[in-house]
Structure 1
Amino acid sequence: MRAPDQDPVIDRILALWNTDDHTLPSEPRLAELTGASRASVREALIRLEERGYVHRTQGTRTTANRRLPEVGRRIDEQFDHSLSIRAAGYEPRLQVVSAERRTLASAPSRFDDLPDGTEVLRTVKMWSVDDRPYALAEDLIPVTREADLDPHLPVFDLAEAGNSVQVAWETMWVDAVALDAERAEALQTRPGLPVIEMTYCGYGADDRVGYWSREVQLPAPAGLRNALIRRVHRG
């Protein structure tokens, strides 16, 4: 139900993870089961703890976070709407509402910090859950190279094709807004409806911006509620 990780050792550990158990196997046993070195397993467990999958205590076994399968989609991890919708047991549908190249100019509706005059591909996409409108995203991808860009591609792929940025991080802001008329029409609902709006900036390790995106979602069906796992530090 999750996208493959960039670290194959983490993927192997998660494949072995049995949420019916309170603890994971020991580091030597995990190394044996995954075919990785103990150092690689230890590093993978550190990363899994940072992301809320496990809790490690000195002198005891590593404990799995057994509530994770119940939380739905994690907004602190990269995801694809279609994959998330299907994993939750629904049928996804992606519709490209519009796609056009444009030159950015100063306007009150701008949500990005790209310089005026930047050439971008602007896409508006809508995802449906069992044919019911669910999420609408507007993406701005700076275009710095000649490329035939398919607007159906994920924004990460569009950034790499359009401006050669391999996105390493996203910064996200969350706001409660009243749905404007344009997005309400696309989502087949009424203007003024209170919704959650999420604005993202995706940028590479060299700090170059790969894309800006803003998204609104209608109330999510079961299994698709946005969740965040945070570590609790005490003392």
Structure 2
Amino acid sequence: MSRRPESEDLVDVLIEIWAKGDRAHAVMPSEPQLAAETGASRASVREALIRLEERGYIHRSHGARTAINSRLGTVGARVDQQRDHLEAIARAGYEPGLTVLSAAYDVIGTPAGGDSAPFHDLAPGTPVLRTRKVWSADGHPYVLADDLIPVVGRAATDGLDESEPVFDLAERLNGVAVAWETVWFGADQLAPDEQEALGLAAPEPVLVLTYCGVGAGDDVAYWCREVQLSAPPRLRNVLVRRVSRG
């Protein structure tokens, strides 16, 4: 699995505490209380709380207790946070499913690559692993993704499990630990091959997400084109953003 910084682990712990407070309609414990409960330093807790506020979980005001954004307990899949689809589906309370439709090594720019209208900016001649996957919730397909993962040097490909999350495949194949993604949103009709892959009798309008995962040094870990059908209620895409005034 991909390595995560300890600060992110603390953020996850505080999110669990946030969830308990949300269910109890309570306020967030104070910094000293959180430091005592987690065993982390107050400086680390303060940094983690800043991240929680940036992500919309809490609101802090000088001289007042930290308030919990209780609406986050009922929202769907947050587009400002990336999770593996299997995890997101399970967390939403559905039975997750994954089918790897294809996985093959290729070279960008070759006729077999089909790059007449590429969704990426990888240079011709770049060796890649191409995968196509479909995720389902309670047996109903709703996401199809085409991934391109650059293969660098003599990457370990023996025994590779193509069903692993793209973040982990990238770290295996090119050594890039993903730090962030740039995501572009669009809308389109399903192409015939996508319609067939999703098992649909007729084309449907879809949400299209094109994204590039990069490491801290700006090295490309992967490119992905993802199409999403109308999602189940608890998996609808949600963006949580802070409001700045004045």
How far apart are the structure 1 equivalents of 2:38 and 2:194? 47
Which of 108, 112, 119 is the aligned partner of 2:120?
A: 112
Q: Secondary structure of the residue that 1:207 maps to in structure 2?
A: coil
- Across the two proteins, how many residue pairs are aligned to each other? 232
Q: How does 1:139-154 map to 2 (within 5 A)?
A: 139-144=147-152, 145-148=154-157, 149-154=160-165
Q: 1:231 is matched with which residue?
A: 242
How far apart are the structure 2 equivalents of 1:10 and 1:61? 19
| Matched-pair contact (CA < 8 Å) for 1:181–1:190 | no
Q: 1:129 is matched with which residue?
A: 137
Superposition RMSD in Å: 1.6
Q: 2:78 is matched with which residue?
A: 74
Q: 2:30 is matched with which residue?
A: 26
Q: How does 1:188-227 map to 2 (within 5 A)?
A: 188-190=199-201, 192-227=203-238
Which residue identity is paired with 1:147? Answer: A
Give me the identity figure in percent: 55
Residue 135 of structure 1: how far off its partner (Å): 0.6
* TM-score for the superposition, normalised by structure 2: 0.89
How far apart are the structure 1 equivalents of 2:241 and 2:201? 34
How far apart are the structure 2 equivalents of 1:102 and 1:231? 42
Q: 1:87 is matched with which residue?
A: 91
How far apart are the structure 1 equivalents of 2:12 and 2:121? 36
| Matched-pair contact (CA < 8 Å) for 1:127–1:135 | yes
Q: Secondary structure of the residue that 1:127 maps to in structure 2?
A: strand
Q: Secondary structure of the residue that 2:125 maps to in structure 1?
A: coil
How far apart are the structure 1 equivalents of 2:194 and 2:223? 17
Q: 1:98 is matched with which residue?
A: 102
Which of 176, 180, 204 is the aligned partner of 1:169?
A: 180
> Where does the alignment leave 5 or more consecutive residues of structure 1 unmatched?
none
Residue 192 of structure 1: how far off its partner (Å): 4.1
Q: 2:12 is matched with which residue?
A: 11
Q: 2:42 is matched with which residue?
A: 38
Residue 146 of structure 1: how far off its partner (Å): 3.2
* TM-score for the superposition, normalised by structure 1: 0.93
Deviation larger for 167-176 or 14-23: 14-23
Q: Secondary structure of the residue that 1:138 maps to in structure 2?
A: strand
Q: Secondary structure of the residue that 2:47 maps to in structure 1?
A: helix
How far apart are the structure 2 equivalents of 1:234 and 1:123? 44
How far apart are the structure 2 equivalents of 1:146 and 1:16? 40
> Where does the alignment leave 5 or more consecutive residues of structure 2 unmatched?
none
| Matched-pair contact (CA < 8 Å) for 1:105–1:117 | yes
How far apart are the structure 2 equivalents of 1:12 and 1:208? 30
Q: Secondary structure of the residue that 2:235 maps to in structure 1?
A: coil
The 3 A distance-change label for structure 1 pair 215 and 6 is farther
